[in-house]
Structures are given as structure tokens and as C-alpha cells.
Amino acid sequence: MLRPAYRITIGDHVVDTTAEPRASTAVELHVRLDLDTPVDSVTLVQGQVGGLRAEPGDDVAVELGYADGDAGLVRVLTGAVVAVEPGLRTERVVGHSTADALTRTSVDKTFEDGSAGDVVRALAAEAGLDVERVSDGPQLPAYVVDSRRSAARHVRELARLAGFDTYVTPDGGLVFEAPAGTRTAHVLTYGEHVLGAEQCRERPRAATVLTYGESPGASKGDESWAWLTKDFETYRGSAGSGTPVLLVEQAALRTAAAAGTAARAIADVLTASAVGVRVRLQGRPQVRLGDLVELERFPERAGVDRLDGTYQVRAVEHRLTKTDGFLTDVTARSMPAPGGVS
């Protein structure tokens, strides 16, 4: 029987239950990671006596695993404390991942003749955020960053237009890259690893995506990105077919190539998001955002599609309590078809 364990570091204080299981004063430890939210979080509810001392601004790191397992503890989040809420019997400590720095950074700057990745790297530098992996993505003749929106909003908008994922790693580094089929794949077999599973199927928000910029784009030469146009039809991007139609107007899409890339990327996400799964496992800290999960040997049910298949991890929740032990909930969606939407 594996014994759940954790190591939490807040400032200079550490609680490690691998060697001292009675050292824990935690009533509940909850870590939430999500590709579709700007910041990941950890919530620690601990007893008032013997708990970790915490103040807003303290560094925080969380490692989860098993005291008697081969893998040891695995880092799942790095960040800082943002709130401390003492009560009569317990104290609640909330921490955010390093991506919080992007939400608190505002910049006024115009970028010319660079890639989406160039903008993201510059915004990460402004926020003091380490970069783990940032791909270039589409070329942008011009992109305006204004302080009405946070750096996090700009990074996520660029990811949407490029068809990229963006998040921070457990060690706190920023990732901005296309979903990759070469990422770590976790095989989850029915009757062996899975405690519960459910499937979600919904109709896509749109069948066709149309994207527009605001200039004549490449058809008038490389220097035409600053021009305005009266007729957008020649310079729009399109993906999919049928109704309803999603119209995306974005000033950054100043070339026909950028508009086409954005249309295909948005259409791919809408299609893939129509099929999702949520799986509950015995605590598995090795599952990370962007990883793949392969569901195997799930039973067939009349009139319902089998869950078997490969999905991309979109969200992970680790919860460790004294009553239920260590559980991991994984939310994943189907993978886009090879080649994208035509």
C-alpha cells in the first residue's frame, strides 16, 4: 500500500512527510493546473498549531508523490503566496504559479516585422518570467501591446491566433508552442488505473471560422501592412464549412497568411473541444499540462462512443486529504485531426 506524501516549501520553511508522516498539519492540499486559465494555483488548509508560516509574497513550491514509491516526489507547481486567511481552527494559504507575473505586467509597445514568439519572449522578460520553450509561430508585420490589457492577455491572444498552447512548467518556465504528438503519453487502462471516468460531447461553437485583419496584406507587397483597405474579402482567412460562422476581427492579422493560419488554428480548437473526457486516478503527479493520455479497454455501451483513444491533457487537479488520500482528476480533449481543418 503506497503512502501519499508531499513536500511544501514556503519561504525558508519546509514540511516533508516522506520521512516524518506525522509532520503533516495539512487538512487539505489542492493543486489546480489548467491550460485554459492564466494562472495555476495551490490551496493549503492547515492546522493553526505547527503549520507552515506564510506571508503574501513568499516563494512556494509543491512536490507530490509517495513515501514508499520508486518515483519519489514530483514537482507540480512553483510560484508565490498571494493570500493567507487565518481562521479559528485552520489557516488557508493560497499560492499562484509564476504565470501570475504576466497578469501583473502592463506594457505599451509596438513590435514590427517579428514573430508571435518574439512578442511573447519580450513580454516574459518584462514580467521577469523565465522562458522554458517558446516557438516563433506566425510572422506579424506589426503587433501593438497596450497597457489596457495585461501581458497575460496578450500572450493568450497570440496563442489563440497561432494555434499554440501556453502555460508554465512545474519549475516555473513559460511554454508557448504547438500541441505536439511527441509529448509524454500516459496509458490509462480501465480496471487498472482508473477510479472513474466520464465523457463530454457537445456541438462546436461554430462550423466555419472567418478571420480578418485591417490591411491589403501580402498581395500589395511586404511594405503594405500599414495600409487600410475598404474590401476585406481578398485578405480574409477561412476554415471549415457550414453554419454557424464565427467571425474573428484582429488587427494583428495584417497578411493573408496570418489570417489563414489563425482561421485554421481556431477551427481546429473548436473541433477538438467538442469531445472531452474527465478521468479520476489514484494520485499521479507525473501527469502534466499538454501531455497525452491514452485510454485503453474501456467498455462499450449501446449508443455511446467508446472512450478509448488519445487525448490531450487540458487540466489537472491534485487533491490530498486525510479522509480520501491522494487523488488526481485529469480533464482532456480529443486531438485535432492531422493536417487541421481544410
Tens of pLDDT, residues 200-210:
888 788 888 88
173 and 38 in a common domain:
no
Average pLDDT, the chain: 86
How far is residue 143's CA from residue 253's CA, in Å, rounded to a whole number?
9
Taking residues 25-44, what's their average pLDDT?
94
In a domain, 329, yes or no: yes
pLDDT at 228: 56
In the chain, what percentage of residues exceed pLDDT 90? 49
221 and 249 in a common domain:
yes
128 and 68 in a common domain:
no
Residue 342 pLDDT class (50, 70, 90 cuts):
very low
pLDDT at 183 exceeding the cut of 90: no
91 and 12 in a common domain:
yes
229 and 262 in a common domain:
yes
pLDDT at 92: 94
Task: Please give the span between the terminal C-alpha atoms of the chain, in angstroms, as a whole number.
Answer: 51
Residue 3 pLDDT class (50, 70, 90 cuts):
confident
In a domain, 341, yes or no: no
Taking residues 42-65, what's their average pLDDT?
91
pLDDT at 38 exceeding the cut of 50: yes
Burial pattern 270-306, b for ≥16 Cβ within 10 A else e, equals: bbbbebbbbbebebbbebbbbbbbebeebeeeeeeee
Residue 237 pLDDT class (50, 70, 90 cuts):
confident
309 and 250 in a common domain:
no
pLDDT at 229 exceeding the cut of 80: no
Residue 212 pLDDT class (50, 70, 90 cuts):
confident
In a domain, 52, yes or no: yes
How far is residue 320's CA from residue 280's CA, in Å, rounded to a whole number?
13
pLDDT at 264: 86
Residue 341 pLDDT class (50, 70, 90 cuts):
very low
Q: Which residue has the higher pLDDT, 149 or 255?
A: 149
pLDDT at 313 exceeding the cut of 60: yes
298 and 189 in a common domain:
yes
194 and 168 in a common domain:
no
In a domain, 342, yes or no: no
253 and 142 in a common domain:
no
Q: What is the dihedral of CA 191, 194, 198, 204, to 10 degrees?
A: -110
Residue 223 pLDDT class (50, 70, 90 cuts):
low
Tens of pLDDT, residues 158-168:
999 888 999 99
pLDDT at 339: 43
In a domain, 339, yes or no: no
Of 253, 272, 291, the position where a domain reaches its end is 272
Of 272, 287, 320, the position where a domain reaches its end is 272
Indicate the range of 44-58, 108-122, 228-242 predicted with least confidence.
228-242
In a domain, 109, yes or no: yes
In the chain, what percentage of residues exceed pLDDT 70? 87
The pTM of this model reads 0.86
pLDDT at 259: 83
Q: How many domains does the chain have?
A: 4
Taking residues 275-298, what's their average pLDDT?
92
Structural domain boundaries enclosing 227: 208-272
CB 32 within 8 A of CB 77: no
In a domain, 306, yes or no: yes
Cα distances from 147 to residues 106, 125, 164, 336, in angstroms, run: 5, 16, 23, 34
Tens of pLDDT, residues 318-338:
999 988 889 999 999 987 654
Of 242, 272, 302, the position where a domain reaches its end is 272
80 and 15 in a common domain:
yes
92 and 107 in a common domain:
no
In a domain, 231, yes or no: yes
285 and 193 in a common domain:
yes
How far is residue 44's CA from residue 105's CA, in Å, rounded to a whole number?
26
pLDDT at 24: 67
Percent composition of the chain: helix, strand, coil (DSSP 3-state, to 5) = 15, 45, 40
Tens of pLDDT, residues 114-123:
999 999 999 9
Q: Which residue has the higher pLDDT, 99 or 23?
A: 99
pLDDT at 15 exceeding the cut of 90: no
pLDDT at 220 exceeding the cut of 60: no
DSSP state of 271: H
Indicate the range of 38-47, 65-74, 94-103, 313-322 predicted with least confidence.
65-74
Residue 142, domain CATH: 3.55.50.10
pLDDT at 308: 87
Residue 297, domain CATH: 2.30.300.10
